[in-house]
Structure 1
Amino acid sequence: MRRIRAAVTGVAVLSLALTATACGGGTTDGSGGSASGPRTLTYWASNQGPSVEADKKVLQPELDRFEKETGIKVRLEVVPWSELLNRILTAATSGQGPDVLNIGNTWSASLQASGALLPWDEKNFDAIGGKDRFVESALGSTGAQGQDPAAVPLYSMAYALYYNKKMFADAGISAPPATWDELTAAGRRLAKDGHSALGVEGANPAENIHHVFVLAKQHGADFFTPEGKADFTNDGAVAAVKQYVDLMAAHKIVAPGNAEYAQNQSLSDFAKNRTAMVLWQTPAQTFAAQGMKPDEWGVAPAPVPSGTPGQGTRINSMVAGINLAVFKNTGNREGALKFVKFMTSDAEQKTLNQAYGSVPPVKTAQADPAFAGPALAVIRDTLAKSAAALPQVPEESQFETVVGTAVKELFADAAAGRPVTTESVRAKLDKAQQQMPRK
């Protein structure tokens, strides 16, 4: 998902068979227009930039261009991450929602299982230029295997290690760490005066999930069996969670106050020279918005045990990003497809991904020199070689909530000085697993 996001709480059970009636502001003649009024679409955009208002400034000129080209007006609402999933669920059950919407790509399988989203079969993909236009890694986070995707990739992202060049130089560290051992060693030299060497969003369940999922991969494990059954207490999953929380509990390179961070406070600390490193998704725009100059920070691949990212146990990021979905029962399907085609066109992909500091999931747009700079080169390389999609199972969003909350509670224990042991981690994960639907 997106780098700028708040904790997603109170997630409803998505495995229920939700149904949707006619959604959005579209017309009912199937053509995207009517004799009685202008053709319109409603679009819920996720908050990608430093603020909702910043997103409107980015998006509205593009929506105006779409209206000029097609005659279809788009009513825009930028929805904060803290509200987005519950807004989508409410729309799915009530039928009162948008025609087109952004979804975090990790939600794709869960929302697919609701039955509310338009399946992207061959015909629908053909209407927007074909499925083969999109990068394979991005398509891997659009829904369950063996089913038509529930959404289309819009923005692609991956985690990397961002570091403060001056703080590294002052500590006598000549290069960013490539392994976790190097990171903790550097962190001990950087942590001082109660500040973090590494910033985390310990109270944000979704951020917690992203990191422990990657660490589980590095331990040769996962949180689900190949059959899709929750398996939170296997040794590799337990080791992954403990390793992450131990950055605070054992290594002391994350300040205790980070246990309460949930809405990008670690990024603010980094931009204000209070934290030396963050693991984040393409945050260059956020750094700039807080006054940090491009030459003040560097970027490197996120650490792996061997120091060389790749497949298997050398995975160092989840496949992050935003997908574009259409409500199945929109009264303006033709207009919605035209809008998706517009948003995934080469020109719009270049414009929007440059504005947000992300990478286009459309192959021809991604090849543009605008995305060849050092920072985005790390992201592109990670997505191509060492990123994995979160489990594409119907219960994925529940997994984010219950395991992410378990990690949040463990960070709270660490901040309070309570022991974080293998046994206490396993107990928290067992409690989380008991909250998952029985299969």
Structure 2
Amino acid sequence: MRRLRAVAALATVTALAGATLTACGGGTSTGGEGSNASPKTLTYWASNQGPNIAADKKILTPELKKFEQQTGIKVKLEVIPWSDLLNRILAATTSGQGPDVLNIGNTWSSSLQATGALLPWDAKNFAAIGGKDRFVDAALGSTGTAGKDPAAVPLYSLSYALYYNKAMFKEAGISKPPATWDDLVADGKKLSKGGKWALGAEGSNLVNNIHQAFALGKQHGADFFDAQGKPTFTSHGAVSAVKQYVDFMAKNKIIAPGNAEYAQNQSLRDFAQGKTAMVLWQAAATTFEAQGMKPDEWGVAPVPVASGKPGAERQINSMVAGINLAVFENTDNLDGARKFVKFMTSDAEQAHLNKAYGSIPPVTAAQQDAAFDRADTAVLRDTLRKSAAPLPQVPNESQFETSVGTAIKKLFADAAAGRPVTTDSVMSELSKAQQQMPKS
């Protein structure tokens, strides 16, 4: 998802998953499940995608007016910060007071699906918005548990890329960005000198820890869960992936020890200020520009893989990041909600909104817009198409982020303090993380 949200809020979803929940209706109306008792109104909870809530309202309000002109349906908009969004959604499922349509982080899809409060996107519902085949496969993979009808529809998509400082590379005599991890380490040792460092990290950012470990895990043949949804955090591949990531600080010495405490985009600030030469991140151009960095001062390349050629299976180099659009199942305006989803995922709106937010359209046709052919957006788009995979779509995904993300945070703290990070110590932390997972 675009903004890295509060994991403490995310962890609460499982306490409600599987319970008998009161599904949420639109506002205070009393129509029955899937009714059309309020055909002229919709309530929409949007996630905070822009630099602030005011910016989101400025972007979305004209589009909602356009929808009203086309359909006669008025949309009441509320933009909710990521720190509050999941708690608001969970409260709505129990109180019966909430929106008709809402944005959710795509990694929440399976957990929220387990509550039973969201409209399943079966063949009939997909047909009402133009068909399932309009969407990128990778984005559809982050809409709910495999084998079930999706719990939501992709709205904004993102993937990870390697951003690099052109001047720092030139000064170090490096002619191109690294394509393999061996190259990254070798280049990193040339760049880490004089108080400057090669690679930025967010060692205390649990969500970012998971994103990095997941992609590396795929490269080591690990999924962190087996086919039955049981955790496999101590597999050889998972241990190797986590150790490789922490070793950029512990062994290779290309990440500053202070990055172990970073949790709020400080690595992006360091990159923009020329203190760090590279950072692995989702769309970051607007952040760099806000920090005073000019677009021609940085370059972008695919995240490295062992072979140097991103692709499928062990060549995966990103999780599928993004936002999904969901409908509460007992909305009082089901027809209107479907029309709104159709509008928001239309080719024209997808191109417009994703350009505004710097994300990539999960609708294939909308990706043809020239805005997604720029050097930075093209890398994100091609990664999404060819070498990104969804995080595990299991009901306990939130605990995975919390427990394994915390294990990696602890290992970074060890590395920063000069304590050894070994295969055994990584195994120990991941074993503790696995023991914290709910028993199925």
Which residue of structure 1 aligns with residue 395 of structure 2? Answer: 394
Partners of 1:181 and 1:351 lie apart in 2 by 39
Partners of 1:260 and 1:18 lie apart in 2 by 40
Partners of 1:265 and 1:99 lie apart in 2 by 36
Q: CA deviation at 1:396?
A: 1.1
> Contact 1:46–1:78 (CA<8 Å) still a contact in 2?
yes
* Identical-pair percentage: 70
Which residue of structure 2 aligns with residue 175 of structure 1? Answer: 176
Q: CA deviation at 1:32?
A: 6.0
Partners of 1:193 and 1:44 lie apart in 2 by 48
Q: Does 1:8 align with 2:21?
A: no
**Alignment equivalent of 1:23, drawn from 14, 18, 25:** 25
Quickly say closer, same or farther: Cα 1:437–1:65, change in 2 above 3 A: same
Deviations 1:395-428 (A, max 9, x none): 1121111111111121122222222221111111
Which residue of structure 2 aligns with residue 196 of structure 1? Answer: 197
For 2:18, give the aligned amino acid: L
Partners of 1:288 and 1:75 lie apart in 2 by 32
> Contact 2:325–2:341 (CA<8 Å) still a contact in 1?
yes
For 2:362, give the aligned amino acid: P
Q: CA deviation at 1:361?
A: 1.0
The alignment partner of 2:97 has SS state of: coil
Which residue of structure 2 aligns with residue 253 of structure 1? Answer: 254
Partners of 2:433 and 2:439 lie apart in 1 by 13
Aligned residues: 434
Deviations 1:194-250 (A, max 9, x none): 443211121111111111011111111220112211111111101111111111111
Q: Does 1:291 align with 2:311?
A: no
Which residue of structure 2 aligns with residue 79 of structure 1? Answer: 80
> Contact 2:100–2:328 (CA<8 Å) still a contact in 1?
yes
The alignment partner of 1:76 has SS state of: strand
Quickly say closer, same or farther: Cα 1:163–1:186, change in 2 above 3 A: same
Partners of 2:83 and 2:196 lie apart in 1 by 27
TM-score for both structures, normalised by structure 2: 0.94
Which residue of structure 1 aligns with residue 426 of structure 2? Answer: 425
Partners of 1:396 and 1:70 lie apart in 2 by 38
Which residue of structure 2 aligns with residue 438 of structure 1? Answer: 439
Partners of 1:42 and 1:230 lie apart in 2 by 38
The alignment partner of 1:9 has SS state of: helix
Q: Does 1:376 align with 2:377?
A: yes
Partners of 1:94 and 1:414 lie apart in 2 by 45
Q: CA deviation at 1:293?
A: 1.9
User: Unmatched 5+ residue regions in structure 1?
Assistant: none
> Contact 2:155–2:324 (CA<8 Å) still a contact in 1?
yes
Which residue of structure 2 aligns with residue 67 of structure 1? Answer: 68
User: Unmatched 5+ residue regions in structure 2?
Assistant: none
Deviations 1:178-206 (A, max 9, x none): 11111111112222344432111211111
Alignment of 1:358-373 (within 5 A): 358-373=359-374
Which residue of structure 2 aligns with residue 155 of structure 1? Answer: 156
Which residue of structure 2 aligns with residue 356 of structure 1? Answer: 357
Deviations 1:108-162 (A, max 9, x none): 1111111111100111111111112111111111111111000001111111101
Quickly say closer, same or farther: Cα 1:16–1:435, change in 2 above 3 A: farther
Which residue of structure 1 aligns with residue 96 of structure 2? Answer: 95
TM-score for both structures, normalised by structure 1: 0.94
For 1:19, give the aligned amino acid: L
> Contact 1:27–1:332 (CA<8 Å) still a contact in 2?
no
Which residue of structure 1 aligns with residue 38 of structure 2? Answer: 33
For 1:12, give the aligned amino acid: T
Partners of 2:416 and 2:260 lie apart in 1 by 6
Q: CA deviation at 1:26?
A: 7.1
Which residue of structure 2 aligns with residue 239 of structure 1? Answer: 240
